[in-house]
Copies of this chain bind each other. A is one copy, B any other.
Amino acid sequence: MAKSPTTTDHPSVICTVDVALLTLKHDALHVVLLKRQAEPFSGIPALPGGYVHAQEDKTAWDAAARVLRDKASIVSPYLEQLATYSGAERDPRGWSVSIVYYALVPSDVLEPGHEDVMLTPVSRLPKLAFDHKGIIELAVSRVRAKSQYSSLPVYLCSEPITLPRLQAVYEAVLGESINKVSFRRKMDELGMLEPVEGEMEAGGAHRPAQVYRLRKEFRRELSIVARGINS
C-alpha cells in the first residue's frame, strides 16, 4: 500500500460522467443524444458527457449538472446517479470509468435550437458510441421501476398539472393503462400534490380538470408508497 500523500500510484484511469437525459414527447420516452465532435466515435451519437474536472466539480453529481448546463442548457433537473460503468474495453483510449446519471425534464425546457442535438425515442435507438445503448436501456428500466411506486414521473411534467394529464404521463412511462380510480387513490396516498383552489384547466368541450401543484417538500424529493401502482 502506497502512502504517497497527494498524487496517484495508478494514474491511468480515465474518469468521466455521462447523463441519460430523458423526457416525454408524444407520449413516448425520448433521450437526448449528441453527435460526438471528437475521437473516438467521432460523428456517432452519444450521451452528453465529459471528463470530471477535479478543479471545478465538487462531486461527480456536480460534474453531471455542469454537463447538462453546458451541453443542453438545463439548469436544475431531477438528477440522480444510475450506475458506474468501467473497464478496459469500453473506451479505446484506455481503462475508463463513467459515472452515469439520469435526469428527467419536461419537454418544454429543452431548447429546440441546438445543432447536433437528437431527441430520440428510447424504443428506436440508433448505433451509439461506447456502451451508451445499454446505459440508456438501464436508465429506462430504472425509471419504469421507480415510477411504479413513486412520484418520479412528475418531473416529466411542467407545472401546474392536472390528474388526467399526470395519469397519461404515468401510462406513457409504464407502457400500460392504469385504472383511473386506483390511480387517483395512489396519487392521494403519495400526498405530493395540492389543489390550487378555484383553478381549473379548461380547453375542451367538457368539464374542466382541477389544477394541482407539487408541494414544496417534493420539489426535489420523491414521494414513495409501499405498494406499487399496478400489479
B1, A38: Cβ atoms under 8 Å?
yes
Q: How far is A99 from B11 in the complex, measured between Cα atoms in Å?
A: 16
A93 partner residues in chain B, CB cutoff 8 A: 4-7
Q: Contact mask A171-215 → B, CB, 8 Å, 1/0?
A: 000000000000000000000000000000000000000000000
A83, B81: Cβ atoms under 8 Å?
yes
Which chain A residues in 2-17 approach chain B with CB under 8 Å? 2-15
A99 partner residues in chain B, CB cutoff 8 A: 84, 86, 97
A11, B11: Cβ atoms under 8 Å?
yes
Which chain A residues in 33-81 approach chain B with CB under 8 Å? 37-39, 50-54, 58-61, 81
Q: How far is A10 from B50 in the complex, measured between Cα atoms in Å?
A: 11
Q: How far is A5 from B94 in the complex, measured between Cα atoms in Å?
A: 8
Identity of the chain B residue whose Cβ is nearest the Cβ of A90 in the assembled complex: B59
**Interface check A126, CB cutoff 8 A:** no
**Interface check A228, CB cutoff 8 A:** yes
A59 partner residues in chain B, CB cutoff 8 A: 86-88
Known contacts A58-B87, A60-B97, A227-B231; A52/B1 CB under 8 A = no
Min CB gap A148→B, angstroms: 9
Q: How far is A37 from B2 in the complex, measured between Cα atoms in Å?
A: 10
A15, B10: Cβ atoms under 8 Å?
yes
B1, B4, B15: the one within 8 Å of A15 (CB): B15
B15, B94, B97: the one within 8 Å of A6 (CB): B94
A-B contact pairs, 8 of them (CB 8 A): A5-B93, A7-B12, A10-B52, A13-B13, A52-B95, A59-B87, A81-B84, A97-B97
